Amino acid sequence: MKVRDVAEAAGCSIGSVYNEFGDFDGLILTVNRETVQALTARLKAVPSDDPLRQLHGLADAYLGFATEHANLLRSLFEHRMEDDRPFPEDILAMVMDAFALMHAPLLRLLPDRDPDDVALLSRMMFSAVHGIISLGLEERMVAVPPEQLRERLAQFVDTHLAGLGVTRGA
């Protein structure tokens, strides 16, 4: 993304882009804000009747979003601020909220665990899913072949749940 391209696409001058977004970081962050909102909307649309199906649905929805908007997700997770400026709190909170969406179904599947522990488990599980997907979708690093990604991701979720003591179909 280039400031001049944005200006041309918007049909305005370079200066106007700066009036609107402040600087390049502001431009990127505006995009990232929309990205995390779109991601969250998609994750929240996953049916929540059955917690097990929901967990699979969340992983699958994340995979779908990552497949369709690989570059947007990269911008969200890889962008560094200029001059070590702090990363905006609101985006941080939004990402954390998205990652916490695994909390509710996990809580239902693990009613006897310490809820704080489940909260961390859910973020960790989402981080793991994120890692598998982001490396799997890099064409260059065939950690997990993309065509198997969907199936393997489901397998991973099942395996991890089994390790947590959740018996399938319970």
Residues that bind DNA (CB under 7 A): 1-4, 12-16, 18-20, 23-25, 82
Interface residue with a second copy among 144, 146, 150, 154 (CB under 8 A) is: 144
> In this complex, which beta carbon is closest to DNA, that of residue 24 or of residue 156?
24
Interface residue with a second copy among 6, 39, 55, 95 (CB under 8 A) is: 95
User: Interaction with a second copy in 16-75: which residues (CB under 8 A)?
Assistant: 74
Interface residue with a second copy among 13, 30, 37, 148 (CB under 8 A) is: 148
Q: Assess contact for 46 and 65: CB atoms under 8 A.
A: no
Give min distance, CB of 30 to DNA, in A: 13
Binding site for a second copy (CB under 8 A): 74, 77-78, 86-87, 92, 95-96, 99, 120, 123-124, 126-132, 134-136, 140-144, 148, 152, 156, 158-164
